[in-house]
Amino acid sequence: MSEKLLVLDNIRMSFGAIEALKGISFSIGKGEVVALLGDNGAGKSTLVKIISGGQKATSGRMIFEGQEYQANTPAEAKAAGIETVYQDLSLCTNVDVVGNFFMGREITRKIAGIPFLDERAMEEITGKALANAGTRIPSLRGKVEHLSGGQRQAIELNRFVHWGGKLILLDEPFAALGVEQTRRGLEMIRHVANQGIGVVIITHIMQQAFQVADRIVVIRQGVVAGDVECSKTNADAVIGMITGQTLAGAGAASN
Amino acid sequence: MSPRTRKILEFLLNNLVWLMLVVVLALFSALIPNYFQLGIFANIIEASSVLGVMSIGLAIVIITGHMDLSVESVAALSAMAVSILFCSAGIGLGYKLSPEWLMVPVSLAVACAIGALIGFLNGVLVVKLKMSAFIITLASFIWVRGLVLAVSGGRSAQDLAPAIRWFAVERLFGIPLSAWIAIACFLIFSIMMTKTPFGRHLIMIGGNETAAFRAGIPVKRNLIIAFIMAGAIAGLAGWLLSVRTSGATANLGVGLLFNAFAAVVIGGVSLKGGVGALPGVYAGVLLLSAINTAINLMGLPATYTQVIHGLLVLAAVLLDTFKQRLHQRLA
Ligand SMILES: Nc1ncnc2c1ncn2[C@@H]1O[C@H](COP(=O)(O)OP(=O)(O)OP(=O)(O)O)[C@@H](O)[C@H]1O
Ligand SMILES: [Mg+2]
């Protein structure tokens, strides 16, 4: 198996009396695509937020590139090389496309020591990145509030491809995308993984998981209910794990 | 609706205040005798300097999705502090510095530092303790005004040092330097909001705080800085106020908050945050100032001014709601 990029060790998360995660342990290798599956409310998004610095786990350990890792803010996770596309869209609709593409990492030019936005450079890069992904957006200078759900998701998706990093977390990234955009999105994921970047993708569509993932991890009611290589399982077995018909732990991956 | 009509409509909506300003000025010039003189226009600009500066800070905080009701009291406290230090009559202590011009930067620093400190307090309480900005700054509005009353004992200071007064007396192109300071502030902070990453981040925080946080923007730090800025700018407004009136009274600037609020909202800043630009706010300030001048010229009793201002605030909020709704339909 490929070199470990991120190891999750007994991650627990409680919201008051609700225990959303009850000791999650699995790992992601470099250049590996892991599909994270599970029913609504299983705890997938919560896990993503813990890795990406949005929430702090109640207990547990994470090892990233061989070192103890904990992100207190998304900024720290980004600095470590972890990019995230969240389930609920994370765009500022009151700002234009270019502004959103570069949110938090604007290109600047210093004049008298003061950083000024380099709008032209940012617009050029945004235009290229979106064109490469085949996303058509009427105006890069138009506010995002005028865009369709799919166009918005495309911006987020292309953001991560552009910025790269070491590990990418995608929380239902294709939910609003059309057929062609989804196909390109899946291609993009393979392309990114081939560069040695680890990818975790959450989806409810079994077909997508099998199409793109190397491994499938199933979370059920806050515990890992399955961790199998794609080539060694099939959709029916995975559905069984998701719904709980297969015994927990059945088909666990060999480490 | 075609994209083009939509664009034009949006453009009009976003710049409505300039249109209103032109219409109001034209109307007054036509209807009120003696309104159309260059002197009066200079007067409108001059009278709007304190309100203008104060509105900048308020606008910045509202654009980030929060609220600062304390700006008026902060301005009063700064004005009182400057006046107590550098006035020679009343409760003024009449400190002298040599060379005399040194009093300008020192008084400015005192005024802005007081404002920044109160802004910092507001910011920390709102951002770190997650309390409602409305309540926190309402409390500051009250206790800071109380402090003004306490330090002044209800009395006033007069005869500000001439070196500082100079800014209200000296004119450039017929407009006093104090008004140029306001115009310069609008320029500087407009550039900050539109051309620098910091300003861009404030607008983003106002639009979607979660998204900004997830994008790695230090939301809390930036918000606290915005409150500090609003405070310091209010302090500068207070400095201008003492310069214009050559001193300070305990009830100096009462009612400015609502005018600032009206100017900000009329100027196109949305109360829901994330929307608005400072040039529009300046137009809003000029609009209010033009109306005030008209009221004065027509010889209406001052009591009416308050009624009209109240109605203006109401109209401004109605306009904001109306615009939001229209925007939604256009989107
Ligand atoms: N901030 C929170 N406060 C309280 N409970 C929460 C919070 N966030 C998540 N939960 C709870 O934690 C559990 C897991 O939620 P999570 O969003 O991780 O599910 P999910 O697997 O992503 O589901 P979906 O497929 O619907 O997106 C749910 O029971 C949810 O109600
Ligand atoms: Mg989810």
Query: In order of start, what are the domains of chain A with their CATH numbers?
Result: 4-92+146-243 (3.40.50.300)
Q: How many CA atoms lie within 13 A of A20 on its CB side?
A: 19
A20 lines ligand 1 (CB under 6 A): yes
Ligand nearest to the CA of A56: 1
Report the pLDDT averaged over residues B5-34: 81
Q: And the tokens for A208?
A: 């997508």
Q: What domains appear along chain B, each with residue ranges and CATH number?
A: 12-330 (1.10.3470)
Look at B212 and A114 and tell me if their CB atoms are within 8 Å: no
pLDDT attached to residue A253: 42
Q: Does residue A208's CB lie within 6 angstroms of at least one atom of ligand 1?
A: no
Measured from the Cβ of residue B12, the count of other Cβ atoms closer than 10 Å reads 11
pLDDT of residue A159: 84
Chain Cα centroid distance, residue A228: 19
Structure letter (DSSP) for residue A104: T
Rounded CA separation B177/B166 (Å): 8
Closest listed residue to residue B203, CA positions, set B258, B262, B277: B277
Question: Cβ(B181)–Cβ(B53) under 8 Å?
Answer: yes
A chain contacts of residue B274, beta-carbon cutoff 8 Å: 92, 94
Peptide bond into B105 cis (omega under 30): no
Residues in B touching A74 (Cβ below 8 Å): 213-216
Please tell me which of the candidates A86, A105, A106 has its beta carbon nearest to residue B214: A86
Of B196, B215, B331, the CB nearest to A145: B331
Tens of pLDDT, residues B107-160: 999 999 999 999 999 999 999 888 889 999 999 999 999 999 999 888 888 888
For residue A184, the number of C-alpha atoms closer than 13 Å in the C-beta half-sphere is 16
Ligand 1 center to A209 CA (angstroms)? 21
Q: Which ligand 1 atom is the nearest neighbour of the CA of A48?
A: 18
Closest CA to B144 of B124, B109, B115: B115
Which residue's CA is minimally distant from atom 27 of ligand 1? A40
**What confidence score (pLDDT) does residue A1 get?**
47
CA A203 to ligand 2 centroid distance, Å: 9
| Residue stretches of chain A with pLDDT short of 50 | 1, 248-255
Cβ contact B231:B74 at 8 Å: yes
Q: B247-282, pLDDT tens digit by residue?
A: 888 889 888 898 898 899 888 898 889 988 999 999
Q: Is the CB of A45 under 6 A from ligand 1?
A: yes
E-assigned strand segments in chain A: 4-15, 18-29, 33-37, 59-64, 67-68, 82-85, 108-111, 114-117, 167-171, 198-202, 215-220, 223-229
Instruction: Report pLDDT for B142.
Output: 94
**ipTM tops the 0.90 cut:** no
Distance A227 CA to ligand 1 centre (A): 21
Q: Which ligand is nearest to the CA of A20?
A: 1
B212-249 tens-digit pLDDT:
998 989 999 999 999 999 999 999 999 999 998 888 88
Helix boundaries (H) for chain B: 3-14, 16-31, 38-47, 49-63, 71-86, 103-127, 133-152, 162-169, 177-195, 197-207, 209-214, 219-245, 256-266, 278-297, 302-330
Q: Which residues contact B1 (CB under 8 A, 6 or more apart)?
A: B9, B330
In this predicted model, what pLDDT tens digit does every residue of B301-312 receive, in sequence order? 877 777 877 787
Distance of CA B193 to CAs A90, A101, B172, B272, Å?
Answer: 21, 18, 27, 17
The answer to whether the CB of B59 falls within 8 A of the CB of B278 is yes
Higher pLDDT: B317 or A104? It is A104
Closest listed residue to residue B20, CA positions, set B291, B307, B327, B208? B291
* Distance of residue B1 Cα from the nearest chain A Cα, in angstroms: 13
Q: Are B174 and B40 in contact (CB under 8 A)?
A: no
Quickly state the pLDDT bin for B330 (edges 50, 70, 90).
low
- Residue B53 falls in which region: left (phi positive, over 0), alpha (psi -120 to 50) or beta: alpha
* The two structure tokens encoding residue A220: 């059920």
**A74 touches A54 (CB < 8 A):** yes
Q: Is A19 helix (H, G, I), strand (E, B) or coil?
A: strand
Residue B192 to chain A, least CA–CA distance (Å): 9
pLDDT recorded at residue B331: 58
**Average pLDDT, integer, range B85-99:** 81
Residue B181 pLDDT level (bands cut at 50, 70, 90): very high
Interchain proximity B214–A74, CB inside 8 Å? yes
